[in-house]
């Protein structure tokens, strides 16, 4: 990392740190990755899932998001399971236990608990005629006829990861020393959405695709979601994310 980039990233980190209420934990991230890869929960490709899980941890850290210790513990668990699966089977054991078994059972129990909790929550909402608006999902947009999915933090991170991967490689001469603030990017996003019928998530990053600008813009998006100044929708699991100005 060159000195200019390092100074700018330190400046952003010291000026602004996103503190999000924890809606998802390590189990949610694992279930998200299992769904996204369309793999059997009883036969988890542990090497692939571990690799992707660690990438998400790195991305969360790079964005200066608050990360709980249980995410790190789960990362260690995945690495341990991966290492066990690389070991040759013991000669004195006829049928060795699958190292993934404990994790699979924990995921099944957690998924069952989450589904039961969602059912209870939906039942309570129907009875009280109250339609929930989660911090990461605003589903009653005017004119929307399709049932839309809850957009999680992991969906947003996944979309942002694609933006970063598409960004051109930077050289020292492409990096500017001007200060980039979250407030400026918030205003840029609001100005961009004004008068538009929403925008694709990736559109918000097109004006200046240097890495630091991408990071600050993503933090600005999270802040706009947290303060309910924008609405986000997804018409299906892992479908493109659209963002709308919240004028209510």
> Per residue in 19-62, pLDDT tens?
444 346 889 889 999 998 999 999 999 999 999 999 888 888 77
Angle in degrees, 0-180, between the axes of helices 26-37 and 46-62, rounded to the nearest 10: 120
In the 8-state DSSP scheme, what is residue 97? P
CA distance 213 to 153: 20
Expressed in angstroms, the distance from the first to the final Cα of the chain is 43
| Whole-number pLDDT of residue 202 | 92
Whole-number Å distance between alpha carbons of 1 and 11: 15
- Long-range contact set of residues 35-40: C-beta below 8 Å, sequence gap at least 24: 35/237, 35/238, 36/158, 36/238
Taking CB atoms within 8 Å and a gap of at least 24, the contacts of 144-152 are 144/233, 146/235, 148/233, 148/234, 148/235, 149/234, 149/235, 149/236, 149/237, 149/239, 150/234, 151/232, 151/233, 151/234, 151/241, 152/23, 152/24, 152/28, 152/32
pLDDT digits (tens, 9 = 90+) for 175-222: 454 578 889 999 999 999 998 889 999 999 988 878 888 888 998 998
pTM for the model stands at 0.66
In tens, the pLDDT along 54-76 reads 988 888 877 767 666 788 889 99
- Write out the two tokens for 107: 């995921």
Convert the pLDDT of each residue in 217-243 to its tens digit.
998 998 898 888 998 888 777 788 899
């Amino acid at each position: 990392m060159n000195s200019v980039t390092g100074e700018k990233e330190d400046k952003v980190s010291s000026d602004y740190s996103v503190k999000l209420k924890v809606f998802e934990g390590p189990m949610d991230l694992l279930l998200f990755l299992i769904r996204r890869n369309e793999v059997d929960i009883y036969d988890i490709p542990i090497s692939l899932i571990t690799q992707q899980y660690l990438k998400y941890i790195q991305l969360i850290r790079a964005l200066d998001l608050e990360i709980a210790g249980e995410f790190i513990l789960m990362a260690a668990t995945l690495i341990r399971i991966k290492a066990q699966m690389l070991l040759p089977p013991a000669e004195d054991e006829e049928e060795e236990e699958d190292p993934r078994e404990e994790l699979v059972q924990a995921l099944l129990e957690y998924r069952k608990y989450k589904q039961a909790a969602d059912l209870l929550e939906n039942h309570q909402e129907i009875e009280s005629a109250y339609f929930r608006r989660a911090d990461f999902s605003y589903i009653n947009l005017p004119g929307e006829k399709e049932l839309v999915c809850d957009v999680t933090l992991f969906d947003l991170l996944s979309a942002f990861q694609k933006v970063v991967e598409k960004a051109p490689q930077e050289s020292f001469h492409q990096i500017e020393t001007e200060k980039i603030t979250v407030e400026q990017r918030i205003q840029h996003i609001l100005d961009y959405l004004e008068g538009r019928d929403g925008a694709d998530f990736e559109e918000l990053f097109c004006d200046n695709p240097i890495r630091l600008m991408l990071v600050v813009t993503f933090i600005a998006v999270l802040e706009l979601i947290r303060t309910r100044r924008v609405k986000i929708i997804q018409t299906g699991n892992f479908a493109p994310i659209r963002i709308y100005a919240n004028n209510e």
